[in-house]
A and B are shown apart, each in its own frame.
Chain A
């Protein structure tokens, strides 16, 4: 009897190891390096920022104290007002159609755990990812429709002055012309898009 308990314990331990092994991968996370993806097609231009919390508010744990929550909220409102973050050249004649700003904190998927009865692989995976992803990240999406998308020849980033803790921005850019990448830092806070759209 006792033996069989040991066995089942051993078995369950082995199984959870196996399950964890399958999915044990973590997204990279580097302080001082924010990511930005820009996609252009037709008259639409989408920008998508993913910035580590340290670059924006200076900490990466989940905001629990009032002052931390206040910091996060101020930061989020700065992202809402996109003039603080970036400006497209005005000749593009672009109008914002959609903006979504959020912070991915450690406990985002809290409710997902409520309906876990069995130790199913899927849940194990969620759990795993969960523990590793203690860093928070600001995510902001902006979509524009432009009257003259080809006229956009430059994007400036007041982002660097808005958030003095920010490091560089790694930018992936794609349009019908092709894709390219940029590394932008505060001392030269813009990208030149001549001939790239």
Chain B
């Protein structure tokens, strides 16, 4: 009876109540999408590299080494010599190693020199391998393999010729040694998508006539001659390492960090990602904080609307009283109303969230490499909903108490 009365009362004020519900559900949706993005960004981020046990590079902070070797953000402080790399590779704990050489670019995309092992050893999203979409991996010295993003943004296809620029933002190009696209990789959602991959020998080859960052004037070794040269790299930027047993990782890490001949750092990729996330985490807490404030504001808004509707509804309440409702019933009715509004808002917000997420998911994945998981609500969301309903009952007490006084004072007639 009370339920029906409350529902029809709400129905009678469809527009005001509807707007309140919409406002609340949008703020709840904001909260939930921030939360969803946050957790999805975290998993995508930590999924960037998996099954690599150690990354080695020149002495640097673990976060910095992680950023330049995996995310290709920033630059290496130093390179490490090929001899030191071989010393590490020859340690008995090491199962496999993939060298990486960075420093050149092509139209804003980083060029990475590596060997073919990279394509079998680099894993992401819990062990997924990189697959080749078109063509083949480098066979010739001047073959390049493009990440999906590079190929798409530059409109390149198999056999497109390209020239690698020296450095990251420079006008000097290795134009005497043009490359050719031999393969294009499938989209991975990792920084590999935005990388131009060549062989280590190619990196060495394009720098044959270069000395300390500039081309030696007048010197141009013919390509035929370069092909005959020994193109073993003299140094590399970083290397991905896999160990035979996880139990030996820390010994190997210590050995590398204390390697006397060269200052090197070995990091555990997951540990470094976690460390980096603790820094980024401040920003996401801020976002979360803002959306909680938004929810709070909406709650206040709901109270305000209930208050302002009270004076309009004094006549309605007088009728309730005339029909035998006690002042307590009036309070109950108002609280019931608040519960209805919040439950309705929650339902609407969930529908809105899943609707918008399923539309935006491919777009977010494509542009930001974040795979938002459109799945069931988490337990945490349930807690938030319960808290929200409870909070809305609490704030509705204020207008309800006022209504209680109105109904006691007014009785059946309104004295204004």
Q: Give the B-binding residues of A (Cβ under 8 A).
A: 22-23, 25, 27, 37, 39-41, 44, 46, 48, 125, 172-176, 178-183
Cβ A181 vs Cβ B271 within 8 A: yes
Cβ B247 vs Cβ A172 within 8 A: no
Which residue of chain A has its CB nearest to the CB of B249? A174
Partner of B246, one of A39, A180, A182: A39
Question: Total contacts A to B, CB within 8 angstroms?
Answer: 57
In whole Å, how far is B52's beta carbon from the nearest beta carbon of chain A? 9
In whole Å, how far is A106's beta carbon from the nearest beta carbon of chain B? 17
Cβ A37 vs Cβ B250 within 8 A: yes
Cβ B275 vs Cβ A181 within 8 A: yes
**Interface residues on chain B, size class:** 20 to 34
Which residue of chain A has its CB nearest to the CB of B127? A178
Which residue of chain B has its CB nearest to the CB of A183? B278
Cβ A48 vs Cβ B270 within 8 A: no
Cβ B258 vs Cβ A179 within 8 A: no
Say whether chain B's binding surface is mostly helix, strand, loop, or mixed: helix
**Residue B326 lies at the interface, judged by CB distance under 8 Å to chain A:** no
Please, how many angstroms separate the alpha-carbon atoms of A39 and B268 in the complex? 12
Kindly identify, within residues 226 to 270 of chain B, every residue whose CB is under 8 Å from any CB belonging to chain A. Answer: 245-247, 249-250, 257-258, 260-261, 263, 268-270
Which residue of chain A has its CB nearest to the CB of B250? A37
A-B contact pairs, 20 of them (CB 8 A): A22-B260, A22-B261, A39-B246, A39-B249, A39-B250, A40-B246, A41-B246, A48-B250, A172-B250, A174-B246, A174-B249, A174-B250, A174-B268, A174-B271, A176-B246, A178-B46, A181-B268, A181-B271, A181-B272, A182-B274
Q: List the A side residues contacting B274 at CB < 8 Å.
A: 180-182
Kindly identify, within residues 161 to 211 of chain B, every residue whose CB is under 8 Å from any CB belonging to chain A. Answer: none
Q: List the A side residues contacting B51 at CB < 8 Å.
A: 178
Please, how many angstroms separate the alpha-carbon atoms of A37 and B271 in the complex? 11
Please, how many angstroms separate the alpha-carbon atoms of A176 and B257 in the complex? 23
Q: List the B side residues contacting A46 at CB < 8 Å.
A: 247
**Residue B337 lies at the interface, judged by CB distance under 8 Å to chain A:** no
Q: List the B side residues contacting A27 at CB < 8 Å.
A: 257-258
In whole Å, how far is B269's beta carbon from the nearest beta carbon of chain A? 6
Cβ A178 vs Cβ B50 within 8 A: yes
